[in-house]
Amino acid sequence: MDYQHIRFDLADDIARITLARPARLNSFVVPMHVELRDALARTRDGRARVLVLTGEGRGFCAGQDLAERKFEDGLAPDLGASIEANYKPLVLALQELDMPVIAAVNGVAAGAGASLAFACDIVLAARSASFVQAFCRIGLIPDAGGSYFLPRLAGTARALGMALTGEAVSAAQAEAWGLIWRAVEDTELAAETERLARHFATAPTRALALAKRAIHAAAAAPSLAAQLDLERDFQRELGRGDDYREGVMAFREKRPAVFTGH
Ligand code: T3D
For ligand 1, atom 53: residue with the closest CA: 24
CA-based nearest residue to 17, from 125, 127, 115, 94: 94
Q: How many CA atoms lie within 13 A of 257 on its CB side?
A: 18
Query: Of 21, 24, 25, 68, which is best to mutate to test ligand 1, by the most ligand atoms within 8 angstroms of its C-beta?
Result: 25
Report the mean per-residue pLDDT for the chain: 97
Name the CA dihedral angle for 52, 55, 59, 64, rounded to a multiple of 10 degrees: -100
How confident is the model at residue 84, as a pLDDT? 98
- pLDDT at residue 199 above 80? yes
Sheet holding 101-105, edge to edge: 6-11, 14-19, 50-55, 101-105, 122-126, 182-184
Compute the distance from residue 189 Cα to the ligand 1 centre, in Å. 23
pLDDT tens for each residue of 167-192: 999 999 999 999 999 999 999 999 99
Pairing of strands 6-11, 14-19: antiparallel
> Does the pTM of the predicted model rise above 0.85?
yes
DSSP H or E segment with residue 199:
helix 189-201
Ligand 1 atom with the smallest distance to the CA of 113 is 9
Percent of the chain having pLDDT more than 90? Answer: 95
Is the distance from CB of 128 to CB of 107 less than 8 angstroms? Answer: yes
pLDDT tens for each residue of 225-245: 999 999 999 999 999 999 999
For ligand 1, atom 25: residue with the closest CA: 62
How confident is the model at residue 46, as a pLDDT? 86
pLDDT tens for each residue of 23-62: 999 999 999 999 999 999 999 998 899 999 999 999 999 9
Report whether residue 169 contacts ligand 1, using a CB cutoff of 6 Å. Answer: no
How confident is the model at residue 37, as a pLDDT? 98
How confident is the model at residue 78, as a pLDDT? 93
How confident is the model at residue 74, as a pLDDT? 81
Sheet holding 59-61, edge to edge: 59-61, 108-110, 130-132, 168-170
Compute the distance from residue 257 Cα to the ligand 1 centre, in Å. 46
pLDDT tens for each residue of 84-107: 999 999 999 999 999 999 999 999
Ligand 1 atom with the smallest distance to the CA of 107 is 30
Confidence of residue 72 (pLDDT cuts 50, 70, 90): confident
Q: What is the average per-residue pLDDT within 14-30?
A: 98
User: How far is residue 229's CA from residue 224's CA, in Å, rounded to a whole number?
Assistant: 9
Report whether residue 65 contacts ligand 1, using a CB cutoff of 6 Å. Answer: yes
Compute the distance from residue 28 Cα to the ligand 1 centre, in Å. 10
Compute the distance from residue 27 Cα to the ligand 1 centre, in Å. 7
Report whether residue 147 contacts ligand 1, using a CB cutoff of 6 Å. Answer: no
For ligand 1, atom 56: residue with the closest CA: 65
